[in-house]
Amino acid sequence: MPRVSHRRLRQLVGRFRGKKLAVVGDVMLDRFVRGHATRLSPEAPVPIVEVKDFAGELHPGGAANVAVNLSALGSAATVFGVVGQDSAGQELQASLKRLGIPTRGLIADPLRPTTEKLRITSGHLHIARVDREQRDPLRKSVQTELLERLQRALPRVAAVVISDYDKGTLTDHLLKVILNSCRARGIPVFVDLKRWRAWEIPATLVLVNERRAVEMTHKDIRDRETAHAVGRQLLEALECEYLVMTRGPAGMMLFDRREVQAGAPDSGAPIRDVKSRPWEVFDVTGAGDTVLATLALSFVAGATLPEAAELATHAAGVVVSKPGTATCSPNDLLESLHVLMHAGRGRTGRAQR
């Protein structure tokens, strides 16, 4: 795939500020307890982690982290989801407010706990994760209230981002109503797909990682050609305009419905992918949320699919180079583009423009 212009990418980043997006999905609280493991327990072959603070570091997770990423990139993001009437729900809402993200789209349900993930680490080593969650579908009355709050916000948003962690928030009914409402208003919808769903209304863009793509299609991925076949199958089944399949160190594979339909029946469209950069990886927590946020915001700013994917690759590289659930700012993104541009100048004698 031809390289995109660095000047054009920098212009797109400059258009991020103030774009209004709504994020709907499974919100959660990420808690990090950091310590030092120097010995094994005499009770079981597990490390003993000595910590100074059992409360740990708190960060919005799941759909809330997508909103945090959008906000960090300059967007005016609002998150819609469900928390429990518990301390974790209060901590999550307080954390969002500190980051300047409105919480009017969050409903406190007394009959379910706030989804919480506790990660215990020693240095850069992830020792254990403890989850508290209830994955039953939302009660109908809660779904109705959530939809009413979102419907009131739709006239003011440029896009809707759906963050599905399969925790029960995004029922089939809820998704159907959201997609119908957005289509009626001409609002693009970007979805992070965690499990197979048969939608009556196609989304604008679907993001899926390679492992889940294999689970959904029941086909193995051995190389670029088989990955391309799996992606095309998902694109055709979901009927979305665009599909982006993340492949870890192999980068991303991009699918545009118009290009696929225009391709030869036996070969389809050419394989389009974005290579991953050689980042030093500290923690991949939340990287998928960063990719989803950057793709959606880039499209709203006027990016093409390759441009949006290039920016998302850079943003993901920034966050995995930081510990914990991290975000990427416009300055981070511009610095990453600057580094790559100068690396290209070193190889070719001049920067690509």
Q: How many residues does the chain have?
A: 353
* H/E segment holding residue 65: helix 63-72
Please say whether the beta carbons of 290 and 332 come within 8 A: no
How far is CA 134 from each of CA 29, 83, 115, rounded to the nearest angstrom?
13, 11, 7
Closest by CA position to 327, among listed 10, 91, 16, 8? 16
From 26, 273, 289, 332, active-site residue: 289
How far is CA 194 from each of CA 168, 247, 280, rounded to the nearest angstrom?
12, 15, 26
| Edge-first strand listing for the sheet containing 159-163 | 106-109, 76-84, 20-25, 159-163, 189-192, 205-209, 242-246, 252-256, 272-274
If one counts every other C-beta atom within 10 angstroms of the C-beta of residue 55, the result is 9
Q: Which residues contact 284 (CB under 8 A, 6 or more apart)?
A: 320
Cα 264 from Cα 260, distance rounded (Å): 8
Tokens 């076949």 correspond to: 229
Q: Which residues contact 351 (CB under 8 A, 6 or more apart)?
A: 6, 341, 342, 344, 345
289 is catalytic: yes
Closest by CA position to 316, among listed 237, 252, 228? 252
Strand partners for 20 = 76
Cα 175 from Cα 168, distance rounded (Å): 12
Residues labelled catalytic: 289
